[in-house]
Amino acid sequence: MSNYNTGDMLEIIFAHRNKAYGAYQLRRSYHKTLMRAFALGVSFIAFLFIMPRFANALSGVMVERPDETEVTMSAPPDLTPEVPLTPPPPPVTPPPPARTTFVFVPPVILEDPMAPDKITTEVDELLEKEGVVGTKEVQGTTDIAPTIDPGDDLGDVVEAPKKVILDKVYDSFDIQKMPSFPGGDAAMMAYLRENIIYPTIAKETNIMGTVALRFVVGVDGSISDIAILKDPGGGCGKEAVRVLKSMPTWIPGEANGNPVKVRFTMPVRFILQ
């Protein structure tokens, strides 16, 4: 084997040639250029391999909650006031049958001495007849007109509207005014966006979905009897309940002008963006 190295071989090859031409310098720096290119290639491949993990770790540290939490509300119930029932007209009582009456002729003073006896006779005859004395004669019945006994059955009695039961929990179709968040639906959605913190487990496992909550708004606007009807998991339901309990006092619902307890259903949507 030869003991010459690469540098010696280059000196021999270019012993009687122009070394400033360029080929000499290219051959002399070939190994350095090759090692540098190899190192850069390995570094680039390592960067492509490590970058996704580094980005995931960095996003988990810097993002504490999603930029936006979309909250959807159920459609408002129909608040058209119910028209009160018109009580039926009272039963019409037929008029009593006409009673028999006789014409009474006012007495006239006559000069005939027999006239007073004649007038007395005519008055006595009228008093003996069955009927009522009037100004004209009417043919009818001599029965006494019927009277209404308070104990008689007059048919169905119209009852007054029932009073509102304060301890009863009403549904949306039983009342005239639904409970509401102070400031309306827009204020409630803004409150949810500002206070909901996306659960860490749900964020790491990419869990999204809608949490359906049902609760009771009391006569004083307080929230109680919270129940989770639907939960996508990852702590979303627990976070929605926490924010619901932290809400300010609601405006209570009303039935017939009185505040009552109302059962309310509210969906809260969790979306990662």
For the chain, the domains span: 6-61, 65-81+162-270, 94-147
Band the pLDDT of 119: cuts 50, 70, 90: very low
The pLDDT assigned to 110 comes to 47
- What is the pTM assigned to this prediction? 0.41
Q: Mean pLDDT across the stretch 220-228?
A: 92
Q: What is the mean pLDDT of the chain?
A: 75
Residue 101 has pLDDT above 70, yes or no: no
Residue 160 has pLDDT above 70, yes or no: no
Of residues 157 and 220, more confidence is placed in 220
| SS3 track for the chain | CCCCCHHHHHHHHCCCCCHHHCHHHHHHCHHHHHHHHHHHHHHHHHHHHHHHHHHHHHHHHHCCCCCCCCCCCCCCCCCCCCCCCCCCCCCCCCCCCCECEEECCCCCCCCCCCHHHHHHHHHHHHHHCCCEEECCCECCECCCCCCCCCCCCCCCCCCCCCCCCCCCEECHHHCCECCECCCCHHHHHHHHHHHCCCCHHHHHCCCCEEEEEEEEECCCCCEEEEEEEECCCCCHHHHHHHHHHCCCCCECEEECCEEEEEEEEEEEEECCC
The pLDDT assigned to 230 comes to 92
The pLDDT assigned to 6 comes to 63
Band the pLDDT of 31: cuts 50, 70, 90: confident
Residue 3 has pLDDT above 60, yes or no: no
pLDDT tens for residues 40-63? 888 889 888 888 877 777 765 554
